């Protein structure tokens, strides 16, 4: 058996310890750097490519945002792929780690960032105009003029739409109107003829139901009251139409309010008002076309926002007095 001299053994042991300490030092240094200097997040940038911009304009824009390092390389890549005329306008979200080819792919495919535009049921066209301007998707006055010129109040379907920053007022109006036409399909048009109402009359009635009915389950019953009154030639006496005639919402209407001189005031003018008072959703449109089979002729709003329905006027007055007593308590 060959014995290692003691001095040689000690040198090897010393070297081993040194290597272990070195490894530990490196490990601890890496851990320290990791916690002291965490990885920087990938910064995303929004870039708006407008209609009519050339490949050179886009390359310059990307370079300005520090998303590409070389404009010439981007232009050569665009030419090689034959994509000079395939670059789509819109608002894009890029980051510096994507690379020129990935950025170009996104622009060719038109993978733009969309803005969610939610139009609540029962919004008037004026409320929609304010919402669009608030989201910086268009000019309020331009929107109002377009809707008024084409008489589209009631035909702007309430829905959540995905639009991009380059969408203008006319395109948004077109989207909402196209959605309305899809909802008011052949079945509903056929039903309107069956009950002898024009499409406009259905939309007007649906807009009133939308504003009056706070509970989905009572829409068809509110519709029934209006249908029953129309058959008898009675005034519809809808508070919602008075609110629209006043041009503002009041928590409680006065007797003077009910006398406001407007063709939309159904307390003084018989039949339906001349136009829709809001933009109704599908549930209200269907309720207008399929009223519940009832003999109710009156309704009064309860404390919870739902309505109490009556066939006779005396019964209706009792419910109104009961509501008034509870309000005073």
* Position with higher pLDDT, 118 vs 136: 118
* Position with higher pLDDT, 70 vs 8: 70
Main-chain dihedrals φ then ψ at residue 266, nearest 5 degrees? -80, 5
Q: What is the mean pLDDT of the chain?
A: 86
Section 270-280 average pLDDT: 98
44-109: CATH class:
alpha beta
Predicted confidence (pLDDT) at residue 62 exceeds the cutoff of 70: yes
Assign 286 a pLDDT band (cuts: 50, 70, 90): very high
* Position with higher pLDDT, 24 vs 207: 207
- 126-175 pLDDT per residue, tens: 999 999 999 989 999 999 999 999 999 999 999 999 998 778 999 999 99
Positive or negative, the CA dihedral 143, 144, 145, 146 is positive
- Going by their DSSP bridges, the two strands 115-118 and 90-95 should be labelled as unpaired
Predicted confidence (pLDDT) at residue 269 exceeds the cutoff of 90: yes
Q: What three-state secondary structure class fits 5?
A: coil
Domain residue spans of the chain? 44-109, 115-163+171-183, 196-328
Name the token pair of 150: 């084409």
- 9-58 pLDDT per residue, tens: 555 555 665 666 665 665 665 555 444 444 445 578 889 898 889 999 99
Assign 8 a pLDDT band (cuts: 50, 70, 90): low
Predicted confidence at residue 91, as pLDDT, reads 85
Q: Are 176 and 132 in contact (CB under 8 A)?
A: no
CA-CA distance, 21 to 27, in Å (whole number)?
10
Predicted confidence (pLDDT) at residue 115 exceeds the cutoff of 80: yes
Predicted confidence at residue 329, as pLDDT, reads 33
Predicted confidence at residue 155, as pLDDT, reads 98
Predicted confidence at residue 165, as pLDDT, reads 78
Assign 1 a pLDDT band (cuts: 50, 70, 90): very low
Predicted confidence at residue 299, as pLDDT, reads 86
* Position with higher pLDDT, 179 vs 111: 179
Predicted confidence at residue 216, as pLDDT, reads 86
**Looking at 37-46, 60-69, 255-264, which range is the least confident one?**
37-46
**Percent of the chain residues past pLDDT 70, beyond the cut:** 82
The secondary structure of 237-257, three-state, reads CCHHHHHHHHCCCCCCCCCCH
Question: DSSP code of 217?
Answer: G
């Amino acid at each position: 058996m060959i014995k290692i001299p003691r001095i040689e053994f000690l040198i090897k042991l010393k070297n081993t310890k040194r290597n272990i300490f070195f490894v530990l030092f490196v490990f601890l240094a890496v851990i320290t750097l990791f916690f002291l200097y965490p990885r920087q997040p990938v910064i995303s940038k929004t870039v708006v490519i407008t209609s009519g911009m050339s490949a050179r304009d886009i390359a310059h824009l990307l370079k300005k945002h520090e998303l590409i390092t070389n404009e010439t390389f981007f232009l050569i890549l665009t030419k090689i792929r034959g994509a000079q005329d395939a670059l789509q306008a819109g608002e894009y979200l890029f980051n510096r780690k994507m690379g020129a080819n990935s950025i170009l792919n996104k622009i060719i495919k038109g993978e733009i960032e969309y803005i969610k535009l939610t139009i609540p049921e029962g919004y008037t066209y004026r409320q929609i105009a304010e919402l669009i301007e608030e989201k910086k998707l268009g000019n309020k006055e331009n929107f109002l003029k377009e809707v008024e010129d084409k008489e589209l109040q009631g035909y702007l379907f309430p829905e959540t739409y995905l639009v991009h920053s380059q969408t203008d007022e006319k395109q948004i109006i077109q989207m909402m109107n196209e959605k309305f036409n899809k909802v008011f399909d052949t079945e509903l048009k056929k039903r309107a003829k069956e009950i002898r109402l024009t499409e406009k009359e259905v939309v007007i009635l649906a807009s009133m139901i939308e504003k009056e009915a706070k509970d989905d389950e009572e829409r068809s019953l509110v519709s029934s009251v209006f249908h029953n009154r129309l058959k008898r030639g009675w005034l519809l006496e809808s508070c919602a139409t008075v609110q629209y005639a006043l041009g503002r919402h009041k928590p409680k209407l006065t007797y003077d309010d009910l006398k406001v001189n407007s063709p939309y005031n159904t307390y003084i003018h018989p039949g339906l008002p001349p136009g829709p008072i809001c933009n109704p959703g599908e549930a209200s449109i269907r309720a207008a076309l399929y009223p519940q089979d009832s003999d109710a002729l009156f309704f009064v709003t309860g404390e919870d926002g739902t309505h109490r329905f009556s066939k006779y006027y005396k019964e209706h007055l009792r419910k109104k007095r009961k509501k008034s007593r509870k309000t005073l308590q």
